Amino acid sequence: MSVLKISDVTKVFAAGNVVAVDTFSLDVADGELVCLLGPSGSGKSTLLRMVGGFERPTGGLITIDGEDITHLPPEKRPTGMVFQSHALWTHMNVFKNLAFGLKLRRIPADEIKRRVEAVLELVGLGGYGTRHVNQLSGGQQQRVALARSLVLEPKILLLDEPFASLDQHLRERLREEVRDIQQRLKITTLFVTHGQDEALSMADRIVVMRDGKTEQVDRPDIIYREPQTPFVAGFIGTMN
Ligand code: ADP
Ligand code: MG
């Protein structure tokens, strides 16, 4: 059963006359983790931002559970997005960063406390509620950003290169943690990356993008065995 349906979505940036996303279509199943993989400038972020409501499609349709969300503002969508630069509120403590969105939704204080504490446990930051964000390490800050999205209990999780600023070792650890959390919550996820190793190790399915279009869509093992794009084939060549 597909939860998220992206149908013939296009984004033209008038400034510069760039077709960032070109009649792109994808169905994502309930609980599936799909990696959008491609080189810089291939339209991954623009596509994700359109699903999250941060960019307006020029054409096409996006539905979640059959409901047309193409032109809804972000806060009206059942999506949660983690940006490459996490944009946490550094002058607030961890608890307040997570509680903010829940307060806007007028959720009672005792429920906010319960939900924030549960999500902090989930991301391995139990007991960190009173810590200030700027006292945390880069990896811990990314965990807070993930928790801030998860606490809203989104139906679709959108992650845009969330580990790009972290070192290799931490990236690999967080990749496993995120995959583990995603599977425990069975949360439908779109994960944007230009890292072939990240996509091959995390995804249920990989969409390889170039110039705003799909070059190949397959399970990671099939993409690994039969890469049909220079971007992936070249990478695998360097591994073997
Ligand atoms: P990726 O995330 O795969 O690196 P992007 O979606 O950021 O790619 O960009 C796709 C293309 O759209 C690029 O050519 C980029 O320069 C262009 N683009 C992205 N955002 C804007 C914008 N706000 N205005 C004009 N062009 C943009
Ligand atoms: Mg990007």
By most ligand atoms within 8 Å of CB, the mutation choice from 10, 12, 13, 42 for ligand 1 is: 13
By most ligand atoms within 8 Å of CB, the mutation choice from 46, 54, 190 for ligand 1 is: 46
Q: What is the dihedral of CA 190, 74, 20, 234, to 10 degrees?
A: -20
Strands 188-193 and 205-210: unpaired
Low-confidence ranges of the chain (pLDDT < 70): 86, 240
Q: What is the mean pLDDT of the chain?
A: 94
Distance (Å, whole) CA 221 – CA 26: 19
Cβ-contact 31, 186 below 8 angstroms: yes
Q: Please indicate whether residue 56, judged by its CB atom, sits closer than 6 Å to ligand 1.
A: no
* Structure token pair of residue 226: 């039969």
Cβ-contact 8, 61 below 8 angstroms: yes
Nearest alpha-carbon partner for 79 in 2, 174, 162, 3:
3
For residue 239, with 0-12 CB atoms within 10 Å meaning exposed, 13-18 middle and 19 or more buried, which class applies? exposed
The closest residue, in CA terms, to atom 13 on ligand 1 is: 41
Domain with CATH 3.40.50.300 in the chain: 1-77+155-167+189-240
Q: What is the pLDDT of residues 66-91, one digit of tens each?
A: 999 999 999 899 999 998 876 788 88
pLDDT of residue 105: 86
Q: What is the pLDDT of residues 136-167, one digit of tens each?
A: 998 899 999 999 999 999 999 999 998 888 88
Residue 52 DSSP class: H
Q: Which residue has the tokens 């996303």?
A: 21
Q: Please indicate whether residue 44, judged by its CB atom, sits closer than 6 Å to ligand 1.
A: yes
Strand partners, 218: 206
Strand partners, 80: 157
* Structure token pair of residue 141: 């800050």
The CATH code for residues 1-77+155-167+189-240 is 3.40.50.300
Q: Which residue has the tokens 């969300």?
A: 69
Strand partners, 188: 156
Please report the atom of ligand 1 found closest to the CA of residue 48: 6
